[in-house]
Amino acid sequence: MKPDTMLKAALLGAAIAVASPVLAANITIAIGSEPSTLDPQQRDDGAERAVTDNIFETLLARQPDGTLVPGLAAAMPEQIDDLTWEFKLREGVTFHNGEPFNADSVVTSVERIIDPAYASEQMAYLATIAGAEKVDDLTVRITTKAPDPVLPARMYWMKMVPAAYSSDPAFAQAPVGTGPYQMAAWNHGEDIELAAYPDYWGDAPQIEGVSYRFIAEGGTRVAGLMAGELDLIRNLYPEFLGAVPNSTAVPGLETSVIVLSTENPVVSDPKVREAMNIAIDREALAEALFAGLAEPAHGQLVNPKSFGFNPEIRAYDYDPDRAKALIEEAGATGKTVTLVGEAGRWLKDRELIEAVGAYWQEAGLNVEIHIEEFGEYLNQLFDKDHRPDSIFVVNSDELLDADRPLTAAMEYGASYASNADEEMAAQIQAARAETDVEARKALYAEITRKGHDLSYLVPLLNQEDIYAMSDRLSWTPRIDAKLLVKEMSVSE
């Protein structure tokens, strides 16, 4: 049986009823890569999230300005004790295949994503969660391994999946959630189509259907918008801001960074890592590549909008002569370092990767750049046994808390961190469980300072989110960069 035929059969088997009447309004959104899966708990894949944010929902949600509000929970959670949070659930909510949303769904969602055998790439968001317990059909308690002041924000991240169907092998290709849109078709290599779910528990969306087209190249996305084939593109090239019908740039939560593997031979030397930082002219990158719609990262991965940002740390100085001297002192001149990245997922990712490689080459290193297909790139990003010397990533901090970026990139043994600093890992774990605000802030100041001084990372730029829209689409971008179609409308 052909893959597309298998997918159609799976859709039928999941009892997904796609609305058949002529649609009142349909839009097309361009995303930079094809999702590696539509299982919303498995991979840390922004293309997947762009789609599944509209299929699945979470216990808590955010308003466009970032304020946490109830989602599938009927109210904000109550903290029962230091390790236990109780959530009351909305009544009458169903998944697209008819399964009820209830405490069983929440317990399944929690236990599934934290199961080590499941190996979710999203654990940097959820590291404290120990389990979940059903109290009754509409009450569930979520427990943590240690006190966790960020637990409510984590439940804004974790998507709820159906208790029964989520274990079906078809789930990753034919997902069902509780959201305003349901799966209609996945035309591999071309697009994914969603249709409004007629029995959605919330306000009915104004747009009846949405197609996500996979277009990696920025110029091609702009051409599609200008030709009337697309309604929304993200990661608009800044030089096209004045040429498209409707565009906007808003402060974002993304920080581009290169993670260094401190156990690899060349990069293990702190002098080389410092040189890799000061060899880069971040001001020039922000202006030349992003027309000023980015600024040099402040010597750390924590976003300036997030709790735990250290205002005392400055961006690394640009000092190419000292960078070259440090590499010579370390005996690394002419030594090879690999730089792994991808192309099309983030704004000007390839250009940024190649520019950094050129700076390092000028400082005396022999740089081998490997641009990988996105699925393979994710494999290498999360491979804890065979780390590349350096790997590019754009970290987004939807939790608005230092725990997410520090867990992801700096906690030894966690997520895609590439150092072997057990002392720092213990500090990150202690900060995660600290409930005193000032004590927690002080711990993060110490961690970010150490990470800066030892150059465990190469923070690059804090970037703005840049979008372009057709004249008929009305939408206000969110602080968390989610493309929630239920917040959009169309004038025909």
Distances (CA, A) of 113 to 170, 292, 382, 420, 432: 17, 39, 16, 25, 19
Interior angle at CA 259, CA 154 and CA 401, nearest 5: 25
Walk along the chain (492 residues) in steps of 10 and give the mean pLDDT of each run: 40 36 75 95 94 98 93 98 98 98 98 96 93 98 96 97 97 98 97 98 96 94 95 92 88 94 96 98 96 95 95 97 98 98 92 98 98 94 92 93 95 92 96 95 98 97 94 93 96 79
No. of helices (H) and no. of strands (E), the chain: 14, 19
Q: What is the DSSP letter of 95?
A: -
Q: Domains (ranges, CATH) in the chain?
A: 3-215+470-490 (3.40.190.10), 252-464 (3.10.105.10)
Residue labelled with tokens 């052909």: 2
Distances (CA, A) of 469 to 26, 225, 329: 14, 7, 51
- Reported as a single tens digit per residue, the pLDDT across 204-235 is 999 999 999 999 898 999 999 999 999 999 99
Name the nearest CA neighbour of 196 among 209, 212, 211, 178. Answer: 209
At 343 the three-state DSSP class reads coil
**What's phi and psi for 131, nearest 5 deg?**
170, -175
Q: What is the pLDDT of residue 2?
A: 40
- Reported as a single tens digit per residue, the pLDDT across 383-399 is 988 999 999 999 989 89
457: how many CB neighbours lie within 10 A of its CB? 30
Q: What is the pLDDT of residue 243?
A: 86
Whether 407 contacts 157, CB under 8 Å? no
Q: What is the pLDDT of residue 177?
A: 98
Q: What is the pLDDT of residue 24?
A: 57
Q: What is the pLDDT of residue 344?
A: 86
Q: What is the pLDDT of residue 163?
A: 98
What token pair was written down for 116? 């080590």
- Full-model pTM: 0.84
